[in-house]
Structure 1
Amino acid sequence: MASGNFPEDVVREILLMLPVKSLLRCKSACKSWYTLITKPSFKSAHFNSNATLKRSHCILVKRVLPEHVPPTESVLSFFNDKINGDDHVPPTEIIIPHFNHFLQMVGPCNGIVCLTDHRDIFLCNPSIRDFKVLPAPSFNYPHGLFSRTLGVGFGFDTHSSEYKVIRIAELYEDDDGDYMFHSVNVEIYDLSTDSWREIYAIVPYVWYFPSSELLFNGHFHWWADDEDHGGESMLSFHISTEIFQQIRLPDVCAFPDGNERAFLVLNESIALLLFNPSQQTYLDLWLMTEYGIADSWTKQFTIGPLVQIEQPLLFWKHELLLEKFNGQLVSYNLKSQALKEFQMYGAQESLRAVAYSESLVSIKGGSDIN
């Protein structure tokens, strides 16, 4: 299929309008198209165009298949842009074998997501079925100390054009079954070198709840202690400068208080949801109206009561996606307050969801995004 009748810039603009699935077929059409589509500059322009125009936007859901006993097989499922469309149309699915019930999904970043069970970590671009298992960290910890993952983060350094995975690890001593906390270690994986390195940083203890880890505004965030104020904080890590910052949470947060926390994005701001799963679940929504400013936390409203809700997952337009106690995906309309059920189930507490824009970016040393 020749493209000689069209100027190269015209061909490029046409191809930029196509979805990833079509572009993968177009790579086989002719040598010139293959060369164009595989250029890093084209991949970057295609992703940025999709993100700007909100083409190819969808919801990416991770779940563990409930029919497997024990539940060990995870699935990534795409929902199209119209969440209120026909939910009987089966979504596109990708099987992720050999990972357990507690698989977390963080990101996405340029179409890549990081998946972890807090032991194994791998990167995935589900648009092009590209996977990479990360090597395990292999540091020489002081004799007698062991390492346990507290939190995992993922992001893109716009200054060095480098993808980074951040692991916050607890070092502890095990004296004949008697656990003794020692310190918190910070380790960073660089995709271009396929290796881990340690950085010196004094960070608080990080706690994990589903949906308590968030990539936003060039920073990654975890739920953490706030020893200075005797409460809780959002621990922020700047992907480029590798500097940590603690952002105090509202004073109503006083762990342990029976509530769970979720960090989501609403109206281009970080939202904090406080909820106590029960038969009648209320979700208090706080918004950080000025990024990084603790005093800007403002309570917006309370959602509920909702029945048998396990956890919130994602704000999508005027909907809040949630997981029910039985592992079913549901949505709550913030305007009509109507609850809608989807015919999608996972093992209990296994659902995660992110807003996703498809991408041609490959997982390799270096970067396709500038």
Structure 2
Amino acid sequence: MKMNPVSVPNDLVFGILTHLPVKSLLRFRCVCKSWRSMISDPLFVEAHQSRSASALLISFPDMRDPDRKRTLFCINEGEAHRIPGFSHWNISQSVNGLICIYGQYSPKQSHRVRVCNPSTREHVTLPPPFFSDPDLFFQCNSLGFDPSTKTYKILRGWMADSWGPKYEIFTLGSDAWRIIKDAPEALLDTRGICLNGTIYWTKARAIEIDYSRVVMQNSMIAFHVGEEKFRWVPLPPAAPVWTSDTSSMIQIGGHIVIVDYQEVAKSISDVMIMWKLEDSLNGVWSQKRIMLPECWMQGYPGLGPFCVTSIDGGEITLIPNHLFRDWYVVHCNLEEESPRREVLSGLPQNDWNVPYPSIYCSEVSEYAESLVSLKEICRH
């Protein structure tokens, strides 16, 4: 071997390494200086991220903890792996492998907002927010990414007995929160999804028709991460009134999608309706009806209520809100429209002396491993 050394082209090494999991790559940075430089290169990080398989992040509340801290699990191909070191309260939608964790209802935790990379175990604690109130009773944080400047931002909305709603924003790498003006009068209390530099929320709001009638109307709000401005997106008239038990907002193939499953959840129909946002500026939507097989009601009893997410462009995943002893999810192929049940292993047993542990939509997030370095982001 010394007489005939083997030389592997760098581009071939680059391609091979981009297929490996983050855990292995973190170890391989110690192989040599050239590998360390390659794995840390932004081009490699981006190439690796584009090839990372999608998984799910699910958190479970610990009923024995007075603060209801949750344990975070990553689920991939039916196997659940606990992610240590991230006892948290709520998680934002994952953006490029990063998530935001925060306390939602507890005033004493209202200042603790962190951004984490579960793959590398990196995390940063953000400075105390601009707005603070001892009477805070609800807050929601959304993580956004501006692809034009490669900038990550956290948008925080909160309410208190004496205030609200208020909005502020923090840019990773800066040192202070900033107030957002011209913000919505309603609190964006649902999970935001960041897509192509814009964060979207769907919300039902009360509209006063006259002095005696108030109706609920759909609304979608978009926040441009780069311009830091809100705008309203028109929704189709037939779209469902938003509730977390009968509808979900997800992203599929680079589009925002609203899934209406209120009749499926009530076991009175086997049809789910999907509304795909084709044109965000003009509010153009397309509709797709998914006819679930007749065996759906018989094969998956007690599925509803549930939440819906997407792991890739070809499947949506249905996750029951209430699980007993058998942990499982149901995958539905959008082309074949055929569901398959996947049993999950490695999740905690129901030993909390409660009828069942609960999963809520805000605790489920699509996720892909990433080498994005918080240390590098905060250094600039």
Does TM-score exceed 0.5, indicating one fold?
Answer: yes
Q: Is the 8 A contact 2:247 2:307 kept in 1?
A: no
Q: 1:356 to 1:128 in 2, by over 3 A?
A: same
1:285 and 1:40 mapped to 2: Cα distance?
40
2:132 and 2:75 mapped to 1: Cα distance?
44
The residue aligned with 2:171 is 190
Where do residues 1-370 of structure 1 align in structure 2 (5 Å cutoff)? 5-6=7-8, 8-47=10-49, 51=50, 55-64=51-60, 68=64, 72-80=68-76, 83=77, 87=78, 90-96=79-85, 98-100=87-89, 103-106=90-93, 108-118=94-104, 119=110, 120-139=112-131, 149-170=138-159, 172-173=161-162, 183-209=164-190, 212-224=191-203, 225=205, 231-252=217-238, 260-276=246-262, 280=267, 284-292=272-280, 293-296=282-285, 298=287, 300-301=289-290, 305=297, 307-308=301-302, 309-316=304-311, 317-326=314-323, 328-334=327-333, 335-343=337-345, 344=347, 347-350=357-360, 352-364=363-375, 366=377
Q: Which runs of 5+ in 1 are unaligned?
A: 174-181
2:332 maps to amino acid? N
Aligned-pair CA distance for 1:237: 0.7
Q: Is the 8 A contact 2:92 2:192 kept in 1?
A: no
1:22 alignment partner, SS class = helix
* TM-score, with length taken from structure 1: 0.75
Q: 1:204 to 1:227 in 2, by over 3 A?
A: farther
Aligned-pair CA distance for 1:256: 8.4
Greater shift, 311-320 or 189-198, is seen at: 311-320
* TM-score, with length taken from structure 2: 0.74
Greater shift, 216-225 or 327-336, is seen at: 327-336
Q: Which runs of 5+ in 2 are unaligned?
A: 105-109, 210-214, 351-356
Q: 1:196 to 1:221 in 2, by over 3 A?
A: same
Greater shift, 245-254 or 260-269, is seen at: 245-254
Aligned-pair CA distance for 1:10: 4.8
Q: 1:13 to 1:271 in 2, by over 3 A?
A: closer
1:366 and 1:168 mapped to 2: Cα distance?
23
1:91 alignment partner, SS class = strand
Aligned-pair CA distance for 1:29: 1.4
1:124 maps to amino acid? C
Deviation readout 1:261-320 (Å, 9 max, x if unpaired): 310123443221334596637674231241324352535346565643232131233342
2:124 and 2:165 mapped to 1: Cα distance?
27
1:153 alignment partner, SS class = strand
1:300 maps to amino acid? R
1:172 and 1:360 mapped to 2: Cα distance?
41
Aligned-pair CA distance for 1:151: 3.3
Q: 1:299 to 1:31 in 2, by over 3 A?
A: closer
1:251 maps to amino acid? P
Q: 1:218 to 1:261 in 2, by over 3 A?
A: same
Deviation readout 1:37-91 (Å, 9 max, x if unpaired): 22334323433xxx1xxx33031222215574558343333333xx4xxx4xx43
Calculate percent identity across the aligned residue pairs. 23
1:138 maps to amino acid? F
2:329 maps to amino acid? V
Q: 1:97 to 1:19 in 2, by over 3 A?
A: closer
How many pairs were matched up? 339
Q: 1:164 to 1:365 in 2, by over 3 A?
A: farther
Greater shift, 112-121 or 186-195, is seen at: 112-121
Q: 1:42 to 1:156 in 2, by over 3 A?
A: same
Aligned-pair CA distance for 1:27: 1.1
Q: Is the 8 A contact 2:157 2:188 kept in 1?
A: no
1:156 and 1:359 mapped to 2: Cα distance?
15
Aligned-pair CA distance for 1:193: 0.9
2:75 and 2:231 mapped to 1: Cα distance?
35
Q: Give the number of the structure whose residues are more often strand, by fraction.
A: 1
